[in-house]
C-alpha cells in the first residue's frame, strides 16, 4: 500500500545503496548522489579543510512504512475508523526515531573520532547534529565539498555524493548539507531586493493587466471572474454556523504581503461585512507584512488568496494567515511545517541549510528570535499557492517532507497545493534533459512538488472560456496559464487513485515515448481536482487587475472544503482531514463536474488531454458544493 520511490527515468537521482568497489571503502555504501550541477551553477573551488560545516543526520522514522495504511484507516469512507483522527502526541510517539537508530549513528560518529559533546540530539530525537570541519565531514562521508557559485552571485556548499557505513545507512534518511541544490536564489537588481514568489521561482499568479471597468453580471463570467461567478459555478451558497470551532489557513511567504486597503477595496465591491476586516495573522520565523516593496509581484499572490478565501467563507468564518519567513532569508515549506510539528524540527532550526532557512537570522535586518518549532496549531484546511519542481529536490528530501503531510492528515488536516501554471513543464516553462538538468529547451516533462506527494490534494485550473456561459461545462485553463499535471518521477501511485488513473490510461493511449514522461503507469498522478483559475478580478495596489493561475483555484477549493467542515462540525462530526481516498471513491462519483475539453501544453508538446473522468489536466473535475456537502454529511 505504501507509495514507494520509483526506479524511473534515467536522470533520477541514484539513491540505491550500491556498494563501492574500492576495497578501502568497501564497508561504506553510496547513500545519495546527484548526476549533474543544476542550471546556473558553476563549481568554483574546494573548501578550506578547517572551515566549519554543520552536519545534520535525519534519522529514519520507525513505522513510516505503514503511514499510508494508517492514514487510509482514518481517511477512507469505508473504514470503520473514518474520522477518528489522531492527537499530536499519538503521531509523535508512532514515528519517533528508535533508540537503536540514535545510538547506532551516535556510536559510529564517536568511534570515528567525533568527541561525544559535539554530537547533539534534537529535543524531538529526530536529528543528530555535529559541528564539524570540512575535513572531518569529508572523512566521515567519503565526500568532497566544493563552493558553488550561482549566476546571481549566490554561493552554496555541496558535494556530488556521499556515503555511509552499511550498518549506519538504514538508520539515516539523508544528511545535510550534501547533494541538495535547492538553495534560495537572490535575484540581482538595482535595488538589491530579495527574490519574490518564494519559496519557488515562477510559481506566482499571472496577470493580463489592469481592469478598466468591473463587470458583475453572470453573463460576463467568461470575461471577469468574481465571487458570484464562483458561487454560481460551484453552488457555494452557504452561511457558516460553527464559528470559532472551524478554521481555514492560507500560507504566504515573505516578501509576499497583502494590503489592507486592497482587501477593503475588494470587499466594498464584492463582499458583505468584510470592509476593515483582516485575517488573523500568525507570524512564523519573523514573517511580517512588508510595505517597502509594492507591486503585483509582491502583492498579487497574497491579495488574491485572501480576497477570495475570505469572501467565499464570508464574515462568519475567520481566516488565518500564516506569514512565514523574514525579508532577509525568507522561508521554505519545511520552515512552515516545523512550526506546526515540533517533532519535525532540527536541533537549532532549519532542516537543510541549503533549503530550509536557519533562524535566528544573524544578517542585518534579519529575524533574531528562535525558530518557531511546534508553536502553531494547524488549521482544519491549509491552502498553499506555491510549489517547486520535483527535480529541484532530492528524492530523500521530498519523501521525508511528503510523510509530514501524511502526519497532518492523521491529525485531521486537509492540505491543498496548487499544481502549477506551466502544463507538463516546470516553473518558468523549464523542462528536464536526460542528464537531469532543467532548461527552457528541455524535452522531458517536469512534474511539480508537493503536488506529486500522494498525501496532499493537488488543485489544477479550469476556465469559463470566451463566449461560454457560467452554466456551461468549464474547459481546462488555456488563458495565460496551463493547468499543471502529469506523473511523478519520485512517488508510486497510491491505492486511492489506481482505478481512476488506470481507467484514463486504458481509454486514452498516450503517444509520447517513455523518454518524455514517466510512462510506467504506476506513478503518482496529479492533479486531484480543479477549479476556475482564469480572469480573477483582484484589487492590487489600488487597481483592479485580472489574474490567472492555480494560485487562484487552490484557495477557492479551500474555501469550499472549509464550509463542508463547518457543516460537519455543527453536527458533531470530525473534520475532513485527508480527502483523497474519499473523493476518488465510488460513493463520491458525480460530486465533481467533469471537464472534458482542453490540454496542458509544455516541453514542445500539447501535453495531456482533458477527457471524461479523471485526467492529468483537471483531475476529477471541479467541485459541486451541494453534492459534496450531502455526501460528506452522510459519512459518520
At residue 374, the pLDDT reads 81
Please, is 192 exposed, middle or buried when counting C-beta atoms within 10 Å of its C-beta (0-12, 13-18, 19+)?
Answer: exposed
Strand-pair partners of 491: 5
Task: Report the C-alpha gap between 597 and 478 in whole angstroms.
Answer: 10
C-alpha cell at 205: 499568479
- Rounded to the nearest 10 degrees, how much is the dihedral formed by the CA atoms of 516, 517, 521, 522? 140
305 noted as active-site residue: yes
> Does residue 225 sit in helix, strand or coil?
strand
Task: Report the C-alpha gap between 296 and 262 in whole angstroms.
Answer: 12
551 noted as active-site residue: yes
Task: Report the C-alpha gap between 113 and 232 in whole angstroms.
Answer: 68
Select which of 262, 301, 343, 474 is catalytic. 301
- The residue among 392, 427, 432, 439 whose CA lies nearest residue 180 is 392
Q: What is the mean pLDDT of residues 184-200?
A: 35
Task: Report the C-alpha gap between 589 and 237 in whole angstroms.
Answer: 21
C-alpha cell at 45: 573551488
Q: Which CATH architecture has domain 207-328+361-428+446-502+526-634?
A: 3-Layer(aba) Sandwich (3.40)
Between 366 and 130, where is the model more confident? Answer: 130
At residue 307, the pLDDT reads 98
Q: What is the mean pLDDT of residues 552-557?
A: 98
Model pLDDT for residues 224-242, shown as the tens digit of each residue? 999 999 999 999 999 999 9
Task: Report the C-alpha gap between 53 and 178 in whole angstroms.
Answer: 11
Other Cβ atoms closer than 10 A to 636: 10
DSSP 597: S
**pLDDT range class, residue 155, cuts 50, 70, 90:** confident
The answer to whether the beta carbons of residues 539 and 258 sit under 8 Å apart is no
Q: 431-432 and 438-439 as β-strands: parallel, antiparallel, unpaired?
A: antiparallel
At residue 197, the pLDDT reads 42
Between 362 and 246, where is the model more confident? Answer: 246
Task: Report the C-alpha gap between 619 and 555 in whole angstroms.
Answer: 17
Return the beta strands (E) in 9-141 as ranges.
28-33, 41-46, 52-59, 119-121, 127-133
At residue 341, the pLDDT reads 86
Place of cell 475570505: 310
- The H helix count followed by the E strand count for the chain is 13, 28
Cα distance between the two ends of the chain: 24
Select which of 252, 305, 356, 421 is catalytic. 305
Please say whether the dihedral angle defined by the alpha carbons of residues 502, 503, 504 and 509, taken in this order, is positive or negative. Answer: positive
Return the beta strands (E) in 16-144 as ranges.
28-33, 41-46, 52-59, 119-121, 127-133
At residue 179, the pLDDT reads 83
Q: What is the mean pLDDT of residues 411-431?
A: 96
DSSP 112: T
Spatial CB neighbours of 416, under 8 Å, sequence gap ≥ 6: 381, 382, 383, 384, 456, 457, 458, 459, 554, 557, 558, 561
Ranges 115-124, 199-208, 278-287, 302-311: which has the least confidence: 199-208
Per-domain boundaries in the chain: 207-328+361-428+446-502+526-634
Residue 351: is its pLDDT beyond 80? no
301 noted as active-site residue: yes
Spatial CB neighbours of 449, under 8 Å, sequence gap ≥ 6: 387, 388, 389, 390, 392, 393, 398, 490
**Could you give phi then psi for residue 121, rounded to 5 degrees?**
-105, 135
Q: How many Cα neighbours within 13 Å face the side chain of 539?
A: 19
Q: How many Cα neighbours within 13 Å face the side chain of 626?
A: 6
Task: Report the C-alpha gap between 463 and 444 in whole angstroms.
Answer: 26
At residue 298, the pLDDT reads 92
Select which of 551, 566, 591, 615 is catalytic. 551
Amino acid at each position: 500500500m505504501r507509495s514507494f520511490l520509483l526506479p524511473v527515468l534515467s536522470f533520477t537521482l541514484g539513491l540505491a545503496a550500491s556498494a563501492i568497489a574500492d576495497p578501502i571503502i568497501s564497508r561504506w555504501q553510496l547513500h545519495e548522489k546527484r548526476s549533474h550541477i543544476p542550471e546556473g551553477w558553476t563549481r568554483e573551488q574546494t573548501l578550506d579543510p578547517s572551515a566549519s560545516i554543520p552536519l545534520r543526520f535525519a534519522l529514519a522514522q520507525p513505522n513510516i512504512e505503514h503511514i499510508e495504511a494508517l492514514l487510509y484507516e482514518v481517511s477512507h469512507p469505508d473504514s470503520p475508523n473514518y474520522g477518528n483522527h489522531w492527537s499530536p502526541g499519538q503521531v509523535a510517539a508512532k514515528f519517533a526515531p528508535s533508540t537503536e537508530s540514535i545510538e547506532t549513528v551516535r556510536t559510529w560518529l564517536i568511534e570515528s573520532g567525533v568527541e561525544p559533546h559535539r554530537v547533539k540530539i534534537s529535543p524531538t530525537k529526530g536529528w543528530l547534529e555535529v559541528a564539524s570541519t570540512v575535513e572531518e565531514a569529508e572523512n566521515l562521508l567519503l565526500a568532497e565539498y566544493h563552493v558553488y557559485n550561482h549566476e546571481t552571485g549566490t554561493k552554496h556548499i555541496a558535494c556530488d555524493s556521499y556515503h555511509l557505513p552499511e550498518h549506519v545507512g538504514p538508520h539515516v534518511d539523508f544528511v545535510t548539507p550534501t547533494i541538495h541544490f535547492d538553495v534560495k536564489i537572490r535575484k540581482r537588481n538595482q535595488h538589491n531586493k530579495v527574490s519574490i514568489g518564494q519559496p519557488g521561482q515562477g510559481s506566482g499568479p499571472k496577470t493580463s493587466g489592469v481592469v478598466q471597468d468591473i463587470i458583475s453580471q453572470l453573463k460576463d463570467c467568461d470575461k471577469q471572474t468574481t465571487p458570484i461567478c464562483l458561487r454560481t459555478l460551484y453552488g457555494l451558497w452557504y452561511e457558516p454556523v460553527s464559528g470559532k470551532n472551524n478554521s481555514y489557513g492560507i500560507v504566504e511567504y515573505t516578501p509576499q504581503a497583502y494590503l489592507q486597503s486592497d482587501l477593503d477595496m475588494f470587499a466594498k465591491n464584492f463582499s458583505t461585512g468584510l470592509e476593515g476586516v483582516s485575517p488573523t495573522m500568525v507570524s512564523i520565523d519573523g514573517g511580517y507584512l512588508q510595505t517597502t516593496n509594492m507591486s503585483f509581484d509582491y502583492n498579487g499572490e497574497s491579495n488574491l488568496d485572501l480576497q477570495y478565501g475570505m469572501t467565499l467563507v464570508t464574515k462568519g468564518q475567520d481566516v488565518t494567515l500564516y506569514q512565514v519567513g523574514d525579508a532577509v532569508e525568507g522561508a521554505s515549506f519545511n520552515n512552515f511545517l516545523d512550526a506546526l510539528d515540533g517533532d519535525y524540527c532540527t536541533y537549532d532550526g532549519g532542516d537543510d541549510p541549503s533549503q530550509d532557512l536557519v533562524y535566528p537570522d544573524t544578517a542585518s535586518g534579519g529575524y533574531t528570535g528562535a525558530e518557531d518549532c511546534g508553536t502553531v496549531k494547524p488549521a482544519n484546511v491549509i491552502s498553499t499557492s506555491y510549489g517547486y519542481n520535483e527535480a529541484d529536490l532530492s528524492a530523500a528530501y521530498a519523501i521525508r517532507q511528503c510523510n509530514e503531510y501524511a502526519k497532518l492528515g492523521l491529525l485531521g488536516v486537509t492540505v491543498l497545493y496548487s499544481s502549477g501554471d506551466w502544463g507538463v513543464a516546470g516553473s518558468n516553462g523549464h523542462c528536464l534533459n536526460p542528464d537531469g538538468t532543467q532548461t527552457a529547451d528541455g524535452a522531458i516533462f517536469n512534474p511539480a512538488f508537493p503536488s506529486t506527494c500522494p498525501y496532499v490534494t493537488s488543485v489544477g485550473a479550469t476556465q469559463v472560456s470566451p463566449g461560454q456561459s457560467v452554466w456551461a461545462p468549464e474547459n481546462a485553463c488555456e488563458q495565460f496559464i496551463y493547468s499543471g499535471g502529469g506523473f511523478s518521477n519520485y512517488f508510486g501511485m497510491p491505492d486511492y487513485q489506481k482505478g481512476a488513473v488506470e481507467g484514463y490510461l486504458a481509454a486514452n493511449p498516450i503517444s509520447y515515448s517513455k523518454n518524455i514522461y514517466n510512462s510506467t503507469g504506476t506513478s503518482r498522478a496529479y492533479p486531484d481536482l480543479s477549479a476556475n483559475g482564469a480572469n480573477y478580478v483582484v484589487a492590487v495596489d489600488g487597481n483592479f487587475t485580472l489574474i490567472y493561475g492555480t494560485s487562484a483555484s487552490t484557495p477557492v477549493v479551500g474555501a469550499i472544503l472549509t464550509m463542508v467542515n463547518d457543516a460537519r462540525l455543527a453536527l458533531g462530526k470530525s473534520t475532513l482531514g485527508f480527502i483523497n481516498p474519499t473523493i476518488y471513491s465510488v460513493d463520491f462519483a458525480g460530486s465533481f463536474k467533469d471537464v472534458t475539453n482542453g490540454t496542458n501544453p509544455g516541453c514542445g508538446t500539447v501535453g495531456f488531454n482533458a477527457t471524461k473522468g479523471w485526467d492529468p489536466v483537471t483531475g476529477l473535475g471541479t467541485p459541486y458544493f451541494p453534492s459534496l456537502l450531502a455526501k460528506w454529511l452522510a459519512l459518520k
